[in-house]
Amino acid sequence: MVTQEFSIRNTQESESEPLFIAGPCSAETEAQVLETAHELSQNKAVRFFRAGVWKPRTRPNSFEGNGEKALPWLTEVQKQYGMKVMVETATAEHVELCLKYGIDAIWIGARTTVNPFTVQEIADALKGTDIPVLVKNPINPDLKLWIGALERIAGAGITRMAAIHRGFQSYDNTVYRYAPNWDIAIELMSEMPGLPVICDPSHITGKRSMIAETAQKAMDLGMHGLMIETHPNPDAAWSDAAQQITPARLKEILDSLQIRHYNSNDPVFDNELERLRRKVDSIDEELLEVVAKRMRLIERIGIYKKENNITIFQPQRLTEIRETRTVFGNKLQLEEDFIRRLLKDLHDESIRFQTEILYRESSKEKSD
């Protein structure tokens, strides 16, 4: 049931279909909205029609949306094509207008999620309603801010919520428009396990050519749906032209998506997975025992350095560790970057522990 889409459910246990949301970046004209909806309504996989009515643009004098004037166009989409519609809201007034025109769901955009005052104003405007609310990640990679916005909306009594992962601003050179930082979305899924997380490959990639692979990656990670910008004539779009795709291309992408499930219904698979996991469990125990053994040696080294007034950090030792372990790890077919990160964590912990030894009461060391 579409109305159940955003219910807080334990998605790990449910095998519900992913939620696909599509529609133009902006509602440009009534004809463009209806043409897009007409084409999308023929694709049964698409459950929600999206369109921006108020557009937060980086620079003034860009097209900032048609505002209230466009809301009746979306009401037409509901009437003529039976589709549910959703709109971005950035102020309490936008929320009131969406409620007035019977918009089915709203989302909070990345530039709004960053501001707790605005999110709170939106939450206050939502009190007493039961409209589903989707919260895009803040533009900066800050998981707490994202969770905080979701908490403010939940605090207003909204029960049907979802998060939208649309990528993060980054100064690093990346092929993406907004770096996906998948780890942040994964962390959100583990911190809020009942919350559906929808991926927005359009804003992440900023370009048509990368949407299919990014959508697939989201499915591989177990995300619960996709929001994809769709326009009948993408190149002529008034906003985000480079990342919009036609409804026909959207159909191709959705049809060829490999949907993965949290659980299988196959006992043979379940048994085999369970058997392999038990092996991993015991290897993890061995791994931690070895790490603990390493720490006991580090302790002896720390005490010895302290007695001899030697610095804790020895750059040449770190270089030597890096070089030898990388060569050894390579022989074991471990990724170089992974070995580096692992060694860094071990080395950081060793420095921390030796610093603690340096400043601890010497009486504690009598037994050593």
Chain positions contacting ligand PEP, by CB under 6 A: 25, 52, 56, 88, 109-111, 136, 166, 203
Q: Are 226 and 216 in contact (CB under 8 A)?
A: no
Q: Which of Mn ion, ligand PEP, none does residue 109 bind (CB under 5 to 8 Å by kind)? A: ligand PEP
Q: Shortest gap between Cβ of 52 and Mn ion (angstroms)?
A: 6
Rounded to 5 degrees, what angle do the CA atoms 277, 279, 284 make?
Answer: 95
Considering only residues 135 to 154 of the shown chain, the ones binding Mn ion according to CB under 5 A are: none
Q: Output the residue with the shortest Cβ distance to ligand PEP.
A: 109
Contacts 24+ apart (CB under 8 A), 294-303: 294/346, 295/349, 295/350, 295/353, 298/350, 298/353, 298/354, 299/353, 299/357, 299/368, 300/368, 301/354, 302/353, 302/354, 302/357, 302/358, 303/357, 303/365, 303/368
Q: Which of Mn ion, ligand PEP, none does residue 110 bind (CB under 5 to 8 Å by kind)? A: ligand PEP
Where b means 16+ CB within 10 Å and e means fewer, 161-191 reads bbbbbbbbeeeeeeebbbbbbbebbeebbee
Nearest by Cα to 92 from 110, 108, 76, 71: 108
Q: Which stretch binds Mn ion (CB under 5 A): 16-24, 83-91, 238-246, 291-299?
A: 238-246
Q: Shortest gap between Cβ of 167 and ligand PEP (angstroms)?
A: 8
Nearer to ligand PEP, 160 or 165 (CB): 165
Nearer to Mn ion, 176 or 350 (CB): 176
Candidate residues 49, 158, 240, 247; the one interacting with Mn ion per rule CB under 5 A: 240
Nearest by Cα to 296 from 349, 339, 344, 338: 349
Nearest by Cα to 316 from 306, 324, 305: 324
Q: Is 25 in the site for Mn ion (CB under 5 A)?
A: yes
Q: Output the residue with the shortest Cβ distance to Mn ion.
A: 25
Nearest by Cα to 253 from 206, 202, 198, 181: 202
Size of the site for Mn ion (CB under 5 A): 2
Q: Which of ligand PEP, Mn ion, none does residue 39 bind (CB under 5 to 8 Å by kind)? A: none
Q: Which of Mn ion, ligand PEP, none does residue 83 bind (CB under 5 to 8 Å by kind)? A: none
Q: Are 261 and 14 in contact (CB under 8 A)?
A: no
Q: Shortest gap between Cβ of 268 and Mn ion (angstroms)?
A: 45
Q: Which of ligand PEP, Mn ion, none does residue 106 bind (CB under 5 to 8 Å by kind)? A: none
Name the token pair of 252: 């191709």
Q: Which of ligand PEP, Mn ion, none does residue 166 bind (CB under 5 to 8 Å by kind)? A: ligand PEP
Q: Shortest gap between Cβ of 35 and ligand PEP (angstroms)?
A: 18
Q: Shortest gap between Cβ of 183 and Mn ion (angstroms)?
A: 24
Which residues bind to Mn ion, rule: CB under 5 A?
A: 25, 240
